[in-house]
C-alpha cells in the first residue's frame, strides 16, 4: 500500500467516510456485449455485467446515438429502449425498441448496489 493511500484512509477514518467503499464494494463494469469499442452487427440487446448485484429500482441506462454514416459527431440522439434486470442480478439489459441502424452508440449507465451510492459510466460501440 502506498503512503498516499494510507494517508487517504487515515483521513477517511478521521472523518467517518470509511463506511463507503470498504464494507461494500461499488459496482464496477466488468464487461459488456457489445464490448467497449466493438464494431458489431446490430445487437438485439445490450448487456452490462457488473461486479456487484444491482438494485434495479435505482439503476438504469440511456442509449444514445452519437454518430451516423455521413454525419460524424452529431448531437447525441436518445434511442428508445427498455432497461431491465436479468436472471443474473449483476447484469443490466438494454433492449432497443427498434433495431439499431449503422452508427455509433453510447450507453450511459448508472449502477447502484447495496451501499446505495450511484456509480456512472459509459460504453461506446459501433453498429455496421
Ligand atoms: Cu459507496
Mean pLDDT confidence for 73-80: 90
Q: How far is the CA of 127 from the centre of ligand 1 (A)?
A: 34
Mean pLDDT confidence for 90-97: 98
Name residue, grid cell 448508472.
110
- 43 has pLDDT over 70: yes
Neighbours of ion ligand 1 (CB under 5 A): 20, 115, 117
Q: How far is the CA of 82 from the centre of ligand 1 (A)?
A: 26
* Count, residues in the chain: 128
**Terminal Cα distance for the chain, rounded:** 45
Range of the domain at 115: 26-127
CATH number of the domain enclosing 98: 2.60.40.1220
Mean pLDDT confidence for 23-29: 83
- 123 has pLDDT over 90: yes
The answer to the question of residue 5 being in a domain is no
- 11 has pLDDT over 60: no
Q: How far is the CA of 33 from the centre of ligand 1 (A)?
A: 26
The answer to the question of residue 99 being in a domain is yes
Q: How far is the CA of 26 from the centre of ligand 1 (A)?
A: 6
3-state class percentages of the chain: helix first, strand second, coil last, to nearest 5: 10, 40, 45
Percentage of the chain modeled with pLDDT above 90? 73
CA 86/CA 83 separation, integer angstroms: 10
pTM of the model: 0.81
Q: How far is the CA of 42 from the centre of ligand 1 (A)?
A: 35
Give pLDDT, residue 5. Answer: 56
Number of domains in the chain: 1
Peptide bond into 32 cis (omega under 30): no
CA 53/CA 14 separation, integer angstroms: 30
Mean pLDDT confidence for 101-127: 96
Give pLDDT, residue 120. Answer: 97
Q: Is the dihedral of CA 118, 47, 87, 29 positive or negative?
A: negative
The answer to the question of residue 41 being in a domain is yes
Q: How far is the CA of 104 from the centre of ligand 1 (A)?
A: 32
The answer to the question of residue 57 being in a domain is yes
Amino acid at each position: 500500500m502506498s503512503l498516499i493511500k494510507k494517508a487517504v484512509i487515515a483521513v477517511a477514518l478521521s472523518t467517518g467516510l470509511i463506511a463507503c467503499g470498504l464494507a461494500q464494494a461499488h459496482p464496477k463494469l466488468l464487461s459488456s456485449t457489445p464490448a467497449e469499442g466493438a464494431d458489431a452487427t446490430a445487437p438485439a440487446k445490450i448487456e452490462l455485467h457488473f461486479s456487484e448485484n444491482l438494485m434495479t429500482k435505482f439503476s438504469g441506462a440511456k442509449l444514445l446515438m452519437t454518430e451516423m454514416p455521413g454525419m460524424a459527431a452529431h448531437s447525441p440522439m436518445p434511442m428508445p429502449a427498455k432497461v431491465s434486470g436479468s436472471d443474473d442480478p449483476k447484469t443490466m439489459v438494454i433492449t432497443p425498441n427498434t433495431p439499431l441502424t449503422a452508427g455509433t452508440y453510447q450507453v450511459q449507465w448508472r449502477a447502484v448496489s447495496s451501499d446505495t451510492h450511484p456509480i456512472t459510466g459509459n460504453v461506446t460501440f459501433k453498429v455496421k
